[in-house]
Amino acid sequence: MIKSVQWVLFLSVLVAFAACNAPPVPLDDISIEKTFVPEQCVRAVKVGDYVRYHYIGTFPDGKKFDSSYDRGSTYNVYVGKKQLIEGMDKALVGMCVNERSLVKIPPQLAYGKKGYGDLIPPDSILHFDVLLLDVWNPEDGVQIKTYHTPSVCTRKVEVSDYVRYHYNGTLLDGTLFDSSHTRMRTYDTYVGIGWLIAGMDQGLLGMCVGERRFITMPPSLGYGENGDGEHHDTYLIDIPGQASLVFDVVLLDLHNPRDGITVTNQIVPDSCTRKSVSGDFIRYHYNGSLLDGTFFDSSYSRNHTYDTYVGLGYVIAGMDQGLIGICVGEKRTITIPPHLAYGEEGTGSKIPGSAVLVFDVHIIDFHNPSDITEITVTKKAEDCEKKTKKGDFVKYHYNASLMDGTAIDSTYNYGKTYNIVLGANQVVPGMETGLMDMCVGEKRHLIIPPHLAYGERGVTGEVPGSAVLVFDVELISVEEGLPEGYMFIWNEDVSPDLFSEMDKDNNKLVEPSEFTDYIMRQVNEGKGRLAPGFDPYRIIDNMFFNQDRNGDGKITEAEFKLKADESASHDEL
Ligand SMILES: [Ca+2]
Ligand SMILES: [Ca+2]
């Protein structure tokens, strides 16, 4: 009741005032002149909102009676809850952040007849130059506005995930208070478990890698009534109390500490019969990138496969796992969380701490150190009575390639066979094995591991180090070898007068030319046989050298006999 009485009184006073003083502009309500209107107005102030604003209060004659700027902090207050003079409560409604207005308030909507202490005389018209900086409502939650959505999103941030992101942090009026970009370091943190201010804990949920969003939060979900001055070293400015915060966030990385590796985009060759196991040695190509697509490394750029044992700790744990069960020729994408990669520290300049790594791998070949030559008969010989054995002189054709199909060499290109004596170390061990017990006309597919081929070094320009080789061979002819160790054998009984038959000029000495002529005649007449596949004159020279005990270039009868009594030599007569 008392209140209404006052109201009536007040009105009558106003009428009297207006009549007596006749102000130049009659002012029975507030007047608002907008001096700056921002292009965008995300929200206008409503009754019940909380605002932060700056103001300069003056009398109509320009005399300043108050200023928030002088106090160095905004005026913070609820609107429409009679915490302000009535005129200001009215003037603030509908204002936008960054809007500036000159508000003129008649005394009846300000301090009326009473004035305010020594500061405001009775019946004062007040002018306020108001700049609105912030508005929020106690009902507000986190507001999320996604402005870029990546084309692919296989996973969204969940509670307890660990994320890496960049952000610009601003107040609602756009004032930048902090930026991870200027620090050139992502912000790395767990989400949803209290490591962050509540607004960020909520605002990051559901986000995809590559997504960009604005996260706006009221102070209750930010730094509250007192703001934050503790980060003075890192923040550009202190965050004032009761400030709304806007974070412009781009998510770069996402994983959960419970994650294992994931294998995707598998392309498995139809011909796969063998899958890698722990202990295998693998040669593969890869492109490595971070989860946001930032490239960090490629074996292709080095033009060299990455070669390693798998499952034995030679590579990061995630790769050790991701390369198991894989086929030669297979392609797959292996996504590795940091705890199975380079951890919180990262490595080098390109892999940041806590980074998830994505490897697109292509397996060129693999083998196990225990592998032997793998022989597959692709065409059987029509009749196969004699099989190749050590010492045989064989002629064969081959096509050689790597496991990925890269051609190395082919005898078909030269139009002539490759000829070797089996067991004489004229080819790599794997090829010796691959040509054994084979019949003329037979074709074989050979897979030869590097330890039975060209080893870790390979052949410059032709065979990469540690490469598995593929040979398709065709046996064209076989000349049977001599018994093991022999370079010459008699086909029939040896003449008892061997020495004198050799000593053509009968001077009791066998000269090299007599020796060579004699042996060659025996061979030509079919009485004796030299080991096939070798230079006959070199064999004969060796035989002579063996008989010529004292090395004087002639063989005496004594030397001849002495040698014949020994059984150790294989080149004897
Ligand atoms: Ca002689
Ligand atoms: Ca001699």
User: What is the DSSP secondary-structure string of 15-32?
Assistant: HHHHHHH--SS--SS-EE
By the 8 A CB rule, do 490 and 496 touch?
A: no
- Hey, is 39 helix, strand or coil? coil
Say what the pLDDT of residue 562 is: 63
Candidates 75, 214, 296, 418; catalytic one = 296
Say what the pLDDT of residue 70 is: 96
Say what the pLDDT of residue 28 is: 83
Residue 65 CA to residue 59 CA, distance in Å, equals 7
Separation of CA 519 and ligand 1 centre (Å): 15
Separation of CA 168 and ligand 1 centre (Å): 105
Say what the pLDDT of residue 384 is: 84
Indicate if the pLDDT at residue 2 is higher than 50.
Answer: no
Q: Which residue, among 518, 515, 514, 493, has the nearest Cα to 505 in the 3D structure?
A: 514
Say what the pLDDT of residue 404 is: 92
Say what the pLDDT of residue 7 is: 42
Say what the pLDDT of residue 566 is: 53
What are the boundaries of each domain within the chain? 31-136, 143-229+236-255, 262-359, 374-479, 488-556
What are the φ/ψ torsions at residue 519 (nearest 5 degrees)?
-65, -45
Indicate if the pLDDT at residue 559 is higher than 50.
Answer: yes
Query: Whose atoms come closest to the Cα of 502: which ligand?
Result: 1
Indicate if the pLDDT at residue 15 is higher than 60.
Answer: no
Candidates 55, 111, 359, 560; catalytic one = 359
Among 57-61, 98-102, 126-130, 383-387, name the one with the lowest average pLDDT: 383-387
Mean pLDDT of 328-336: 97
By the 8 A CB rule, do 110 and 17 touch?
A: no
- Percentage of the chain beyond pLDDT 70 is 92
Indicate if the pLDDT at residue 22 is higher than 80.
Answer: no
- Hey, is 505 helix, strand or coil? coil
| Cβ partners under 8 Å of residue 184, min gap 6 | none
Q: Which residue, among 320, 332, 331, 319, has the nearest Cα to 264 in the 3D structure?
A: 332
At the top level of CATH, which class does the domain 262-359 belong to? alpha beta
Among 77-86, 485-494, 507-516, name the one with the lowest average pLDDT: 485-494
What is the rounded average pLDDT for all residues in the chain? Answer: 91
Say what the pLDDT of residue 385 is: 83
Active site residue 10: no
Separation of CA 552 and ligand 2 centre (Å): 5
Active site residue 59: no
Q: Which residue, among 273, 281, 261, has the nearest Cα to 332 in the 3D structure?
A: 261
E-strand stretches of 28-181: 31-36, 50-58, 64-67, 75-78, 100-105, 126-136, 143-148, 162-171, 176-179
Residue 379 CA to residue 474 CA, distance in Å, equals 9
Q: What is the DSSP letter of 82?
A: S
- Percentage of the chain beyond pLDDT 90 is 82
Structure-token pair, residue 53: 């604003």
Given CATH 3.10.50.40, say whether it is the number of domain 143-229+236-255: yes
Indicate if the pLDDT at residue 266 is higher than 60.
Answer: yes
Indicate if the pLDDT at residue 38 is higher than 50.
Answer: yes
Active site residue 518: no
Residue 465 CA to residue 456 CA, distance in Å, equals 4
Say what the pLDDT of residue 573 is: 57
- 262-359 with 488-556: one CATH topology? no
Which CATH architecture describes the domain 31-136?
A: Roll (3.10)
Q: Name the fold adopted by 374-479.
A: Chitinase A; domain 3 (3.10.50)
Separation of CA 510 and ligand 1 centre (Å): 4
Residue 99 CA to residue 238 CA, distance in Å, equals 23
Structure-token pair, residue 300: 């292709």
Q: What CATH number should be reported for the domain whose range is 488-556?
A: 1.10.238.10
Which amino acid, one-letter code, is at 151? Answer: S
Active site residue 414: no
Token pair 């008649």 in the structure block, residue: 106
Beta pairing class for 262-267 and 418-421: unpaired
Q: Which residue, among 86, 92, 80, has the nearest Cα to 109 in the 3D structure?
A: 86
Candidates 125, 316, 326, 540; catalytic one = 316
Candidates 162, 165, 167, 342; catalytic one = 342
Indicate if the pLDDT at residue 567 is higher than 50.
Answer: no
Separation of CA 560 and ligand 1 centre (Å): 13
Element (H, E) at 266: strand 262-267
Say what the pLDDT of residue 495 is: 82
| Cβ partners under 8 Å of residue 323, min gap 6 | 276, 282, 284, 310, 311, 315, 334, 361, 363
Q: Which residue, among 165, 170, 236, 233, has the nearest Cα to 196 in the 3D structure?
A: 165
Indicate if the pLDDT at residue 270 is higher than 70.
Answer: yes
Say what the pLDDT of residue 473 is: 98
Separation of CA 548 and ligand 2 centre (Å): 4
Residue 48 CA to residue 293 CA, distance in Å, equals 46
Candidates 53, 162, 286, 560; catalytic one = 286
Structure-token pair, residue 321: 């796992």
Indicate if the pLDDT at residue 543 is higher than 70.
Answer: yes
Indicate if the pLDDT at residue 11 is higher than 50.
Answer: no
Query: Whose atoms come closest to the Cα of 515: which ligand?
Result: 1
Active site residue 359: yes
Q: Which residue, among 113, 138, 234, 104, has the nearest Cα to 178 in the 3D structure?
A: 234
> pTM of this prediction?
0.80
Q: Which residue, among 362, 430, 434, 422, has the nearest Cα to 392 in the 3D structure?
A: 422
Residue 166 CA to residue 320 CA, distance in Å, equals 31
Say what the pLDDT of residue 563 is: 59
Mean pLDDT of 156-172: 97
